[in-house]
Amino acid sequence: MRVRVITGWVLAALFVAMSANSFATSGELTADAWGFLLLTPLALALALSPTLPWEGTESEGAGEWSDEEEEADGSKEAPDPIESGFDVPVL
């Protein structure tokens, strides 16, 4: 984990330095300078995130999703939008 954090911070600093270097050499903000700045948040996310999505061993979101309400009612129909308070569109 420590290697990932250090790598993220080094990459973030490197992207900012490369953007500044590109700006200094060309004298104007080019697509290269903006590209390096736009890559900086990815490096910061790598440095600041406690875990990465592919490092997890168990699926955290699997237990949150369920169709228990539909199974209990036995009804698979969508609710009537007029009863829910939506207006009927006039074309």
pLDDT in tens, 26-50: 888 889 899 989 999 988 888 888 8
More confident residue, 49 or 54: 49
DSSP code per residue over 49-77 = -SS-GGG-SS-SSTTT---HHHHHH---P
Rounded mean pLDDT, 10-32: 91
Rounded mean pLDDT, 6-16: 92
What interhelical angle do 31-48 and 2-26 show, nearest 10? 170
- pLDDT reported for residue 28: 86
In the predicted structure, residue 89 carries a pLDDT above the cut 60: yes
pTM: 0.54
Rounded mean pLDDT, 49-57: 69
